[in-house]
Structure 1
Amino acid sequence: MPLTRNPHPVLMLGPLLRHVDPVSATVWVETDRPCTVTVLGRTARTFCVGGHHYALVVVEDLEPGSTTPYEVHLDDVRVWPPENSTFPPSRIRTAGGDGSFRIAFGSCRYATPSTVAADEGIPADAMDAYAARIAAQPEDKWPDALVLLGDQVYADELTHGTKSWLELRRERHGSRPTSAPDEEVADFEEYTRLYAESWSDPQVRWLLSTIPSSMIFDDHEMIDDWNTSAAWRREVTGQAWWTNRISGGLVSYWVYQHLGNLSPQELDGNKTWQAILGMPEGSDDAEPMLREMAARADAEPASIRWSYVRHWGDNRLIMIDSRAGRVLDEQDRKMVDDDEFNWIEAAMRRAVDEGVEHLIIGTSLPWLLPHAIHAIERWNETLNVRHHGRWRGRLAEKVRQAADLEHWAAFSDSFERLGRALTSVARGEHGRAPATALVLSGDVHHAYAAELVRPGDLDARVHQLTVSPLHNQAPHPIRIGFRIGWSRWARTLMEALARAVRAEPSSLLWEKQAGPFFGNQIGELVLDGRSARFVLSVTELGQPDLRQVLDMPLARDGEGPA
């Protein structure tokens, strides 16, 4: 008997509450067909990409410091909140109210728990547990923002269910698309499966509908080690399947993540978004246009800026793309090119000029690593540069790729430039120093806190806060390696190795303040005036509820300049 299609449009994913400022908000949805989406009386028509339908509703004329519950209607039929929902109503809370500002953050979420086999040994999802915890709390305890620092989906590590789905899909095609790897996604359509798998469970769906989210990609949204080096890139771009893979990855990232990172003003000036809005109703799919955008972005990283800024009252987030915009010339490696770094530094100076109390840098990869690992990356980079094209250089490249030596420390010029920019802000060289300059990161499948202690003439405290994963695991070698990486003897040994090849030492010195912590975890920043705290909660195997393991002051009122 044939299935009967629902007579009304269906909400497939979302709503996701994305950019929120004192007077406006954006709400993202995916639907099963073309329709009109309504939120708080504001409407948007869906647009089509690869046969899938999306909308971004811009809600304006909100009151600063207000809380407004909302519903989602598709063609005038209410589809959110779901019938019989046990969660509190989704709402938009704008900046400008009294009290502290709370930011939840983390990275690396491998699929919804219901899709993950028990034998994979992954602890309970920290995002699910966090959603359940805050839903039971008074609303004034909820976070004001959620910052997701990479690997929202895993294109190269698939659940058993997705592997089976891929096999059936590819059998229907008669062959693997463009010789795609058997157990990795190949194109935009297959990426849509990953987002559906990751964002469908009720807890996370409610959380993303209620807390405004800011996102950035890391390597697994494309492939492990994405843009590690010029040698890596030459090898992967020579594969027949790569063009569809990077196109599908960047198009899906633009649709599912990047679009919601933009403010209404940025949307007005975004040529790609305006071209989509200008397509006649019922016109062709926007996928070819977005594929062209993706091809340009991959070949000419300067053609698009994935980095962005969030304004949160007295607090400012500058999110840095530390993957797509890299310069990979072995003699001139940079985490981002000079034009983008100029933009980052200008955004930092502007934040100080506007009197922010806490400057927050988001980057998927940690800036301050354990000392021994930092020294290994400096050692390896020096060998690659000095012996490029010779056998020692080729061996160093193999080590770099095998050990994932491609964090900020492996781009030494960029590491030092970010350090100079942060210490300049922290000294008050551009105006009154903020109370803190905080670098939030993920990637490394454990959590720790470190603080910059040299130079010693800073008026602001500079911290590295790393939280990862939200839902994954840390293999035993990673646990051992990162515990050893902070040890004094490992630091002494690796720094001696770096000196032996005349690697340029850093002028900066930092100390671990807490960690390493393992398990699935979520961090919180609690910012109140010039005071700041870092709170970390963890789930472990056999323990599905979050357990708080850290509540650490980062700055107290009265510290720094008045």
Structure 2
Amino acid sequence: MSDTELDADRGPLVLGPILRRVEGDRATVWVETAGPATVEVDAAPAGGTARTFAAHGHHYALVVVSGLPGGAVTPYRVKIDGVEVWPRPDDPCPPPVIRTRRAGAPVRLVFGSCREASPLSVTRYPPDALDAYAGRLIASIRSDAPTEWPDLLILLGDQVYADETPEKIQRWLRGRQRRRRADAPMTQVVDFHEYTKLYLDSWSDPEIRWLLSTVPSVMIFDDHEIIDDWNTSQRWRERMAQLSWWDQRIQAGLASYWVYQHLGNLAPGALAECPVYAAVATAGDATEVLDEFGSRADRDGVSYRWSYTVDIDRTRLVMLDNRAARELEEGKRAMLPDSEWAWFAKQLAGDYDHLLIGSSLPWLLPPAIHHLEAATERLAESPRAWVSRFGEKLRQAGDLEHWAAFGRSFDALSALLAQVGTGHGGVSPAPASISVLSGDVHHSYAARADLGPEVVSAIHQLTCSPVHNDVPKLLRPAMKLGWNPPAARMMRSLARMMRLRKPVVRWRKTAGPHFGNAVGLLLLDGRTAHVAIEGTRPDKTLGEVAALKLS
């Protein structure tokens, strides 16, 4: 994509179609259009229509498609004001389809995080794993070869980077200098319109656009959708509030995330229950609605629930907000406040074979790093001001803000998973497997948790990151060292000196670390579960770098 294409006329369909949720005989399809319109999705015998809503001069629709046949592959077309606009006659990719599940079929999931821009924009990283995965599916269709088609794509954060934009976006931003605040960072996006360019740049890549049009997807944010270290601490929030452009950034970041990512996370039957969607759909021009919502969601992290649950046959996925709703008051730090924790615990009751917790930040880190993060929390909460300041600077400088740095929440999550793993808390029998799916740390690994002999579920931390990014080579030895037993004992001694008790869970690495771009593949069949990590090769294909039987 050339520089000028950021503002080029892209026809009536600017972005999409993106297939989001498929449940029973219904599905949702998201689109961005060039102007106000009626959008129709024709998936005969199924179909649906929706009127667009507007935000800052951009137009969107989420179409609910009803009447899909079960266990079928149904091609679909998109029409805008009665004119077919997708698929295009010259599209090099196969036509988009909606797949409905066959009863009793294995559940297949793809997961990963941290995708900085399209490979068309950024070439300094290893090949894009999501692009490579799309290429595999396209090749299987063209060769008429059988393939293991995924039920869901799970994107675990940093789908766009507002603070680390590609050079093409930065050149475009310089052209907008007169329209921006004088002190706004010139290499970062600030307003809603600028955020739209990030999504356009990243999701217009032909293979990615095709993948999103034909594989259902769910998403959750991490820090880079807003800015690095987002909501690290109350001191961080106070410092950011002093910047003249920050209010606009957080407002636009949350509003655009709701439009481009979160809206599609809502199940077809849940749309009517979402007050923001109701307000947006009836407003026509929803600019003021979304601006006010973005500001309110930042001021009061519990005013809107970003977390959600997805059930696929006998597999349950609970996606958690690890950022917006944090409790940051010193002495009460928590990854989730009490009200959100109560909601989370309630979602775990039920009858299912496999439980997946989508957490952008890993629960289980390399042990040495875990103890270091726990120690920095203790330092940051010291009553001595200089110690507290040092601890806070250390946390932010090293991105030490995972579950281990929120000790109360780490223990609570461990206890909750132990409860589910014993078949208590409204779960009977205990699920065969419990897996925490995470990203953020720019390397991939698997770890097996030991929460005591009474826990019968196999509990794992599965981390897959990045999809399209990199980790500096100088940092890789430190990440490997984090798993080294002597290093872990040394850091544990430091934690003991600070009167930190041992973690309530023990864990050991079972795969990794792998530092290349990768995607994770989960196969859940009856009471068995398998995971594979597949990394990109120089020829832009995928190769297996780890495979494990989880249960």
Q: TM-score, normalised by structure 2?
A: 0.94
User: 1:140 offset after TM fit, Å?
Assistant: 4.8
Sequence identity of aligned pairs in percent? Answer: 48
What is the identity, as a one-letter code, of the residue corresponding to 1:141?
E
Q: Which residue of 2 aligns with 1:134?
A: 137
1:376 to 372, 382, 387: 372
Q: Secondary structure at the match of 1:346?
A: helix
User: The residue matched to 2:260 in structure 1 has which SS?
Assistant: helix
Residues 1:298 and 1:7: Cα distance change in structure 2 (over 3 Å): closer
Q: Are 1:160 and 2:156 counterparts?
A: no
Match for residue 558 of structure 1? none
Q: Deviations over 1:257-303 (max 9, x none)?
A: 01000012221011111122223xxx5x3111111111111001111
Residue equivalent to 2:360:
364
1:461 maps to which residue? 458
Cα distance in 2 between the residues matched to 1:102 and 1:421: 26
Matched, 1:185 2:189: yes
Please tell me whether the aligned partners of residues 9 and 35 of structure 1 are also in contact (alpha carbons under 8 angstroms): no
Q: Is the 8 A contact 2:322 2:335 kept in 1?
A: yes
2:192–2:256: 8 Å Cα contact kept in structure 1? yes
Corresponding position of 2:4? none
| Whole-angstrom CA distance in 2 between matches of 1:147 and 1:359 | 14
Q: Which residue of 1 aligns with 2:218?
A: 214
CA deviation string 1:346-370 (max 9, x = no partner):
0001xxx2x2111010010000100
Give the secondary structure class of the aligned counterpart of 1:156.
coil
* Residue aligning to 1:25: 27
> How has the CA–CA distance of structure 1 residues 66 and 238 changed in structure 2, closer, same or farther, with 3 Å as cutoff?
same
Distance in 2, Cα, partners of 1:378 & 1:533: 31
SS of equivalent residue, structure 2 residue 348:
helix
* Counterpart residue number, 1:496: 493
SS state at 1:544 partner: coil
In structure 2, C-alpha distance between the alignment counterparts of 1:79 and 1:450, rounded to whole Å? 46
- Corresponding position of 2:3: none
The farther-off stretch of 465-474 and 266-275 is: 266-275
Aligned-partner Cα distance in 1 for 2:539–2:391: 41
Contact 2:512 2:546 in 1 (8 A): no
> What is the deviation of 1:545?
1.6
Q: What is the Cα deviation at residue 7 of structure 1?
A: 11
1:524 aligns with 2:528: no
Cα deviation for residue 82 of structure 1 reads 1.9
Deviation at 1:94, TM superposition (A): 2.1
Alignment of 1:432 onto 2:429? yes
Q: Is the 8 A contact 2:15 2:32 kept in 1?
A: yes
Paired position in structure 2 for 1:35: 37
- Aligned equivalents of 1:221, 1:412: Cα separation in 2: 25
Determine if the alignment matches structure 1 residue 549 to structure 2 residue 551: no
Cα deviation, residue 97, structure 1: 3.2
Whether 2:148 is the aligned partner of 1:145: answer: no
Q: How many residues end up aligned between the 2 structures? A: 535
Is 1:473 aligned to residue 462 of structure 2? no
Distance of 2:514 and 2:163 partners within structure 1: 25
Query: Cα 1:96–1:348, aligned 2, differ >3 Å: closer, same or farther?
Result: farther
Contact 2:418 2:451 in 1 (8 A): no
User: 1:94 and 1:140 mapped to 2: Cα distance?
Assistant: 16
CA contact (8 A) 1:147 1:214 kept: yes
Hey, which bits of structure 1, 4+ residues long, moved more than 4 A?
5-9
- Per the TM alignment, residue 497 of structure 1 is displaced from its structure 2 partner at its CA by 0.5
Q: Are 1:335 and 1:408, in contact at CA under 8 Å, matched by a contact in 2?
A: yes
Q: Which stretch of structure 1 is more off in the superposition, 500-509 or 76-85?
A: 76-85
Counterpart selection for 1:104 from 80, 92, 110: 110
2:83 aligned residue: 77
Preserved contact between residue 298 and residue 324 of structure 2 (Cα < 8 Å): yes
Residue 256 of structure 2 aligns to a residue whose secondary structure is helix
Deviations 1:150-197 (A, max 9, x none): 0000000011110000000124x2xx3262112111111110110001
Deviation at 1:6, TM superposition (A): 11
1:414 equivalent to 2:404? Answer no
- Counterpart residue type for residue 404 of structure 1: D
The letter for the 2-side match of 1:424 is Q
* TM-aligned CA deviation for residue 544 of structure 1: 2.0
Q: 2:322 matched to which residue of 1?
A: 322
C-alpha separation in 1, matches of 2:8 and 2:261: 28
**Per-residue Cα deviation, 1:409-458 (whole angstroms, up to 9, x for no partner):** 10111111111111111111131011101100000000000011231221
| Distance apart, 1:9 and its partner CA | 5.5
For 2:274, the equivalent position in structure 1 comes to 270
Letter in 1 for 2:53: F
Q: How far 1:77 moved relative to its partner?
A: 1.5
Cα deviations by residue, 1:77-118 (Å, 9 ceiling, x for unpaired): 2111121334333111123434211100000000001111x4
Secondary structure of 1:83's match? coil
Q: Answer yes or no: is 1:395 the counterpart of 2:390.
A: yes
2:53 to 47, 51, 56: 47
Is the 8 Å Cα contact of residues 81 and 89 (structure 1) preserved in structure 2? yes
Q: CA deviation at 1:543?
A: 4.0
Query: Does 2:89 correspond to 1:92?
Result: no
- Residue 360 of structure 1 aligns with an amino acid whose one-letter code is L
What amino acid is the match of 2:63?
Answer: V
Structure 1 gap segments, 5+ residues each: 556-562
Partners of 1:96 and 1:301 in 2: CA distance? 39
Measure, in 1, the Cα distance between the counterparts of 2:357 and 2:434.
8
Distance 1:343 1:180 in 2: 38
CA drift of 1:61 comes to 2.6
Q: Within 1, Cα distance between the matches of 2:294 and 2:528?
A: 42
- Aligned partner of residue 38 in structure 1, secondary structure: strand
Aligned to 1:113, the other structure's residue is in SS state coil
Letter in structure 1 aligned against 2:168: G
> Structure 1 length normalisation: TM-score?
0.93
Report the alpha carbon displacement of residue 56 of structure 1 after superposing the two structures with TM.
Answer: 0.3
Could you tell me whether the CA contact under 8 Å between 1:178 and 1:240 is conserved in 2? no
Does 1:199 pair with 2:203? yes
CA RMSD of aligned residues (A): 1.6
The amino acid of 2:169's aligned partner reads T
Where in structure 2 are there 5+ consecutive unaligned residues?
Answer: 1-6
Name the amino acid aligned to 1:27: V
User: Contact (CA 8 Å) 1:357, 1:435: kept in 2 or not?
Assistant: yes
The aligned amino acid for 1:331 is G
Shift of 1:139: 6.0
